[in-house]
């Protein structure tokens, strides 16, 4: 069953978006003072883009749950 996940383009997209979101969160934490110095409009744009990325990642999870019964919460 695991082989189905590894070859599915949706799983690859889920992995890539998850990895990129992790990098963005780490960079945001490490450079929080830079983020705070941005003007209000740039902060809103950044947060809106981050919200879209998280939403897309969530939709990829939904697709994998429906298609492959993939639920990572079952691992815990």
CB atoms within 10 A of CB 60: 19
pLDDT for 28 equals: 95
User: 17 near 60, Cβ under 8 Å?
Assistant: yes
pLDDT for 70 equals: 76
Higher pLDDT, 15 or 2: 15
Higher pLDDT, 57 or 10: 57
Q: Model confidence over 15-61: pLDDT tens digits?
A: 889 999 999 999 999 999 999 999 999 999 999 999 999 999 989 88
Alpha-carbon distance 24 to 54, whole Å?
11
User: 45 near 12, Cβ under 8 Å?
Assistant: no
Q: Between vectors from CA 59 to CA 54 and to CA 1, what angle results, nearest 5°?
A: 120
pTM above 0.85, yes or no: no
Query: Residue ranges per domain, the chain?
Result: 11-75
């Amino acid at each position: 069953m695991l082989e189905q996940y590894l070859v599915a383009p949706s799983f690859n997209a889920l992995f890539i978006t998850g990895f990129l979101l992790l990098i963005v969160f780490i960079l945001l934490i490490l450079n929080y003072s830079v983020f705070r110095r941005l003007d209000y409009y740039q902060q809103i744009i950044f947060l809106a883009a981050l919200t879209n990325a998280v939403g897309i990642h969530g939709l990829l999870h939904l697709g994998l749950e429906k298609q492959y019964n993939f639920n990572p919460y079952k691992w815990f």
